[in-house]
Amino acid sequence: MALKRFVLMLAVCVFVVVSVCGCSFETGSGGNSSPMQSSHSEKEDSTNSGSSTGELTPPQHSSSMGDESSSGTVGGEDETQPEDEIPVSFGVTVDGGVIRWDNVAAAVYEVTVNGKKITTVLTEYEPEGLTVGVYDVKVTAYLTLDPVLSVTAFAELAVKSLPPVLSASGKVLTWTSVDGAAYYEIYKEGAYIAQNSTNFYTAEAGIYTVVAVFDDQRLNSDHSNLVVVGEVDVNAPTLSRDGKYLKWTAVAGAAFYRIYVNGEPFQIVFGTAYDFSASYEKHFKEDYPDGVVVTVVACFSEDLNSGHSNELFFGQE
């Protein structure tokens, strides 16, 4: 009896165990995901999320990397190079032995002539002590701001010969020699008449000058002093008026002209016209309100002049 009761209880326990285990297995096969199944599904989703075709999308850079790439820099350093010269026009001219150059704001200048350098803040320089010849000129402008920039211009400086000294004895002209001159040109009343490799010339009556000529024409001298040979009848200029200007005819060989007002020397002029209105208002109107008498004289030297021109009355307009 006891044995039957034990067997019966064992059968009940086995049934209960089988029932419980069977329920668990049935739950697993019913489509509800298990932890392993869930992990597998997430992996597949993450793999296929980049493209509908199943292709992988490239990795995305951070926004900071993108900005750095678009700015044209490498390793955070700017590749842009600084300007290597001053962005301005810069030139050099030479006139009468004076070197002049364009002004550059906030700059100092280095001038080199014949190997000699000077530094200046001015925009012109006249070298001294140079012998006759042609010299290379270099001017560099240094911008004193940061960074220091520079620009250079070049020119040539021609140092002309001094003119010969001319004299006359009777009809014979003689002049001093000029070192390096190839020959000499003789001028009468300002017009070229002859050339000579020696230092003398037999002349007719007239007013003469001589020029020393070099193989390099830039070195030619200016005209020598004036010399008169024989009796010279110098024609006086003819004076006229054009509005506020005095005008007169040119006289061959004249070095300059002198204006006279009421018989007194007033002004030296190197051309053949002069604006006299302002001078009259400033100098003569108060003392001569009705006007003044003006003449002009052609001057060949301080000692040789023409006669006075015709008289011209100049008053208020």
pLDDT of residue 244: 87
Q: Report the pLDDT value the prediction gives residue 173, as an integer from 0 to 100.
A: 97
Cβ neighbours for 137, distance < 8 A, ≥ 6 positions apart:
92, 94, 99, 111, 112, 113, 154, 155, 156, 157
**Sorting pLDDT into bands at 50, 70 and 90, what band is 89?**
confident
Q: Any idea where the domains of the chain sit in the sequence?
A: 92-159, 166-229, 239-314
Does residue 130 surpass a pLDDT of 60? yes
The residue among 65 and 302 whose pLDDT is bigger is 302
**164-200 burial, b if ≥16 CB within 10 A, otherwise e?**
bebebeeeebbbeebeebeebbbbbbbeeeeeeeeee
pLDDT at 86: 56
Average of per-residue pLDDT values in the chain: 77
**If one looks up domain 239-314 in CATH, what number appears?**
2.60.40.10
CATH number of 92-159: 2.60.40
* Cβ neighbours for 82, distance < 8 A, ≥ 6 positions apart: 147
166-229 fold: Immunoglobulin-like (2.60.40)
Lowest mean pLDDT among 82-96, 189-203, 281-295, 300-314: 82-96
pTM listed for this prediction: 0.56
What pLDDT, on the 0 to 100 scale, is given for residue 3? 52
User: Rounded to an integer, what is the distance from CA 98 to the centroid of its chain?
Assistant: 17
Decide if 204 contacts 229 (C-beta within 8 A): yes
> For residue 61, what pLDDT is reported?
33
| Confidence at residue 178, expressed as pLDDT on a 0 to 100 scale | 96
User: Which is nearest to 176 in space by CA: 166, 188, 187?
Assistant: 166
Domains 92-159 and 239-314 share a fold: yes
Longest dimension (CA), the chain: 186
The model's pLDDT over 281-296, given as tens digits with 9 standing for 90+, comes to 888 988 898 899 999 9
pLDDT tens, position by position, 105-116: 878 999 999 889
Find the length of the chain. 317
Q: Is the pLDDT of residue 120 over 50?
A: yes
